[in-house]
Amino acid sequence: MSAARQVKGIAARPVQDEMIGFAVMVLLLVVVKITGLVYPYFIMQALCFALFACAFNLLVGYVGLLSFGHAMFLGIAGYVSAHLAKVGTISIGPARLGWTIDFGPWPPEWAILTGAVSAGVLGLVVGLLAIRRQGIYFAMITLALAQMIYFFCVEAPFTHGEDGIQSVPQGRLFGLFDLSNVTVLYTFVAVVFLLAFLMIYRTINSPFGEILTAIRENEARAVSLGYNVDDYKLAAFVISATLAGLAGALKAIVAQNASLTDVHWSMSGDVILMTLVGGLGTIFGPVVGAVIVVAMQQYLAAFGQWVTVIQGVIFVVCVLAFRRGIIGEIAHALKRSL
Amino acid sequence: MFEWIGISPQALFGQLLLGLINGSFYALLSLGLAVIFGMLNIINFAHGALYMMGAFCAYFLLNAFGLGYWWALVLAPLIIGVFGMVIERTLLQWIARLDPLYSLLMTFGLCLVIQGVFQNYFGSSGLPYAIPRELSGGQNLGFMFLPNYRAWVIVFSLVVCLATWFMIERTRLGARLRAATENPTLVRAFGIDVPRMITLTYGFGVALAALAGVLSAPINQVRPTMGADFIIVVFAVVVIGGMGSIMGSIVTGFLLGVVEGMTKVFYPEASNTVIFVIMALVLLVKPAGLFGRTA
């Protein structure tokens, strides 16, 4: 089989369903804002988590690597962008001995971008370590390294420990758009989410994405075909970490704070739940799952710790009887790929 | 003798003792994880929650039935072990043939359920559990004060760990167990009930966790969250040791407890993270773990 035919095969895959799905998503975002049916901050928060879950799904759904520490990327990017947007100092070296450069508060676009990039750099380091093992070891290693980052965030001076970084200014995007205006902020978050979503979609459906799927299906075979599997895994890990960081940075600007909740292991559990409920390895599943889990946490908040119990039960039920997730079941019933 | 490094022998030996105590718990928990992994090929995420249940079981036995520490030491592992076997029969056996990642997700869900229920009823504060009368007090060794209970925990854990090693590596039952790990189909063909062995193995691993919980109750208080963060450190211990060998889990557990204790003396800022740093270094040098077989 020639390479040209393979590439043609990919291009010929019907993408109509996904385009309809994407159009529905855009339409919903517009309708919800105009009609004011749902509180816009809820949608923005859900979009941040949806992006987080999509980034996570890129790794677990298409490479078969279950990261149990993705909260570290969400959290660290949130801290970096919140710090830059509010204080804007960069310190090099140990406390009191190193240099501190004071840039003043950064504009939001640079704060968010730097946040995402720092998550990507962390992803590179963690990825280099974690991809040395597979399967459950990979999950345990990412979990342990994320816990290390959690302790770092508890102790590091710029994160302000238990208090977190509060009242982060939203600033003016490109010096033009005032992000403290709800409509402007909503549009910004929606556009960033949709662009990132398209980027993930494009990655999955590229020759690179096909190789990732090949690694998931049969790693030994991919090696025997001459692919350097570790390089592909690392690249996917860094992309996933960067996009998870983008979600965290965006979330910090929307919620105007960064706190330890976002670095804690329970956040890593939340994103797994979102992806599992929506459908592992589906394009739209993580988005649906994120909206459901965020809504559940919002509306059941009065029940306190029972929310944790409910989430645990959903985990067990999903694994026992509902492994395809919502979108996966729909796609299976319609015999489509969604 | 130790003045030249500017650290008092009391502090040094005190932390060494604490390190050995933590090491006992690491060893008992990672041993349980390794036993379960060998037979069921899953990582039991609920291990920390079951460790916590062991401690609570001891607390209930005392406050509801008036059964003291020594009863708890026998009954709590039995009760929680049976609870574990029920989990295996009702939930885990149905996903045994799937990708092991699913069992990780399911046991994570179980961990959330168990911990959530206990947090609802007991909040996050600690419940006191008294040291048994027979083991109160301590010995003055001259260079340090050794509380009897702490010495007991270390010695008893070591005995349990070595007994487990002996049972698995040196007895007929253990030989069957190891054979069933290697090739379950063939062992079943010899007329050995492998599914029952799997259930009992899971129960045994869980019982070890519960035993660790009872042992830690008088030292760490009984708290719903006592297992959650602890189990992540145990996972790192498991990655460092590799799950290939029973003795490996025991040695790594005690060793890392001591390393952690020593870090508290010499560089306290890193004591929370030192095990994770060691894990990263081991992954760089020997990815399979210190005692691991290549997997």
B chain contacts of residue A147, beta-carbon cutoff 8 Å: 229, 232-233, 236, 276
- Say which range, A185-194, B99-108, B136-145, has the weakest mean pLDDT: B136-145
Rounded mean pLDDT, B126-135: 86
Please state the rounded mean pLDDT for residues A268-275.
94
pLDDT interval class at A91 (50, 70, 90): confident
Q: Which two tokens stand for residue B267?
A: 């560089």
In angstroms, rounded to a whole number, what is the distance separating the alpha carbons of residues B288 and B239?
8
Residue B117 confidence (pLDDT):
93
Determine the structural domain holding residue B176 and report its residue range.
Answer: 3-115+142-285
What's the pLDDT score for residue A14? 60
pLDDT at A11: 46
Q: Do A319 and B102 touch (CB under 8 A)?
A: yes
A6 pLDDT more than 60: no
Residue B1 has pLDDT above 60, yes or no: no
Q: Which residue of chain B comes nearest to A307, CA vs CA?
A: B116
Instruction: Read off the pLDDT of each residue in B268-284 and give the average, rounded to a whole number.
Output: 88
- Structure tokens, B116: 């959530």
Give the confidence band of A13 by pLDDT, cuts at 50, 70, 90: low
Q: What's chain B's average pLDDT? A: 89
Question: Which pLDDT belongs to residue A17?
Answer: 79
Residue B41 lies in a domain: yes
Averaged pLDDT, A142-158: 89
Model confidence band, residue A27 (pLDDT cutoffs 50, 70, 90)? confident
For residues A25-47, average pLDDT: 84
In this prediction, residues B12-17 reach a mean pLDDT of: 87
Query: Which of B43, B111, B235 has the CB atom closest to A144's CB atom?
Result: B235
**pLDDT category, B101, cuts 50, 70, 90?**
confident
pLDDT in tens, B16-62: 899 999 999 999 999 999 989 888 888 899 999 999 999 999 999 99
Measured between beta carbons, the chain A residues lying within 8 angstroms of B277 are 148
Residue A1 has pLDDT above 50, yes or no: no
Return the pLDDT at A5. Answer: 41
pLDDT at A9: 44
- In chain B, what residues touch A155 (CB-CB under 8 Å)? 269
Contact status of A133 with chain B (Cβ, < 8 Å): yes
Q: Which of A329, A335, A213, A337 is nearest to A279 (CA)?
A: A329
Residue B63 lies in a domain: yes
pLDDT bracket for residue A2 (50, 70, 90): very low
Whether residue B123 is contained in a domain is answered as no
Q: How confident is the model at residue B98 (pLDDT cuts 50, 70, 90)?
A: confident
Which CATH number characterizes residue B179's domain? 1.10.3470
Name the A residues in 34-93 with CB < 8 Å from any B CB.
66, 68
Mean of pLDDT over chain A:
86
Contact call for residues A241 and A45 (beta carbons, < 8 A): no
Neighbours of A169 (CB within 10 A): 16
**Partners of B222 in the beta sheet?**
B127
Query: Shortest CB distance from A136 goes to which of B104, B106, B228?
Result: B104
- Tell me the one-letter amino acid at A32: V
| Segment among B3-7, B68-72, B151-155, B168-172 with least mean pLDDT | B3-7
Q: Nearest CB to B239: which of A135, A144, A305?
A: A144
Is the pLDDT assigned to residue B251 strictly greater than 80?
Answer: yes
Contact residues for B228 (Cβ-Cβ < 8 A; gap 6+): A265, B48, B49, B52, B111, B115
A-chain CB neighbours of B105 within 8 Å are: 272, 276, 315, 318-319
Nearest residue on chain A to B97, alpha-carbon basis: A320
* Chain B residues in contact with A265 (beta carbon < 8 A): 228, 232
Nearest chain B residue to A67 by CA: give it.
Answer: B101
Contact assessment for residue B39 and residue B187, using Cβ atoms and an 8 Å cutoff: no
**B contacts of A313 (beta carbons < 8 Å):** 109, 113
Q: Which residue of B has its CA nearest to A304?
A: B120
Q: What does the pLDDT read at residue A95?
A: 62
Q: For an interface test with B, which of A308, A313, A318, A324 has the most B Cβ atoms less than 10 Å from its Cβ?
A: A308
pLDDT confidence bin for A25, thresholds 50/70/90: confident
For residue B283, CA distances in Å to A130, A265, B91, B167, B212 come to 8, 21, 33, 30, 28
Residue A337: pLDDT over 80 = no
> Does residue B150 lie in a domain region?
yes
Predicted confidence at residue B2, as pLDDT, reads 52
- DSSP structure string for A143-183: HHHHHHHHHHHHH-GGGTGGG-B-S----EETTTEETTSHH
Identify all chain B residues contacting A148, using CB atoms and an 8 Å cutoff: 273, 276-277
pLDDT of residue B267: 86
Query: Of A51-60, A105-114, A202-211, B163-172, where does mean pLDDT reach its minimum?
Result: A105-114
B140 versus A97: the higher-pLDDT residue is B140
Question: Is residue B280 situated within a structural domain?
Answer: yes
**Alpha-carbon gap, residue A141 to A208, rounded angstroms:** 25
Instruction: Note the pLDDT of residue B252.
Output: 92
CA distances in angstroms from B205 to A113, A116, B39, listed in the order given: 47, 42, 10
φ and ψ of A295, to 5 deg: -60, -45
Q: What is the token pair recorded at A119?
A: 């998550």
- By C-alpha distance, the chain B residue nearest A217 is B99
Cα separation of B41 and A175, whole Å?
Answer: 56
Contacting residues for A294 by C-beta, under 8 A, at least 6 apart: A42, A45, A46, A49
The percentage of chain B sitting over the pLDDT mark of 70, rounded to a whole number, equals 97
Most confident option among A127-136, B83-92, B140-149, B270-279:
B83-92
- Structure token pair of residue A325: 């997730």
If pLDDT is split at 50, 70 and 90, which confidence band does B215 have?
very high
Give DSSP secondary structure letters for B193-258: -HHHHHHHHHHHHHHHHHHHHHHHHHHH-B-TTTTHHHHHHHHHHHHHH-TT-HHHHHHHHHHHHH
The alpha-carbon radius of gyration of chain B (Å, integer) is 19
When divided into structural domains, chain B yields a total of 1
Q: What is the mean pLDDT of residues A259-266?
A: 91
Q: Which residues of B touch A (CB under 8 A)?
A: 42-43, 91, 94-95, 98, 100-106, 108-117, 119-120, 228-229, 232-233, 235-236, 238-239, 269, 272-273, 275-277, 279-280, 283-284, 287, 295
Pairing of strands A177-178, B138-140: unpaired
Q: Is residue B125 part of a domain?
A: no
Q: Return the top range by mean pLDDT from A100-114, B72-86, B188-202.
A: B72-86
pLDDT at residue B6 in the model: 67
Of the pLDDT bands very low, low, confident and very high (cuts 50, 70, 90), residue B4 is low
> Contacts of residue A133 in chain B, CB cutoff 8 Å?
239, 283, 287
Q: What is the pLDDT of residue B250?
A: 92
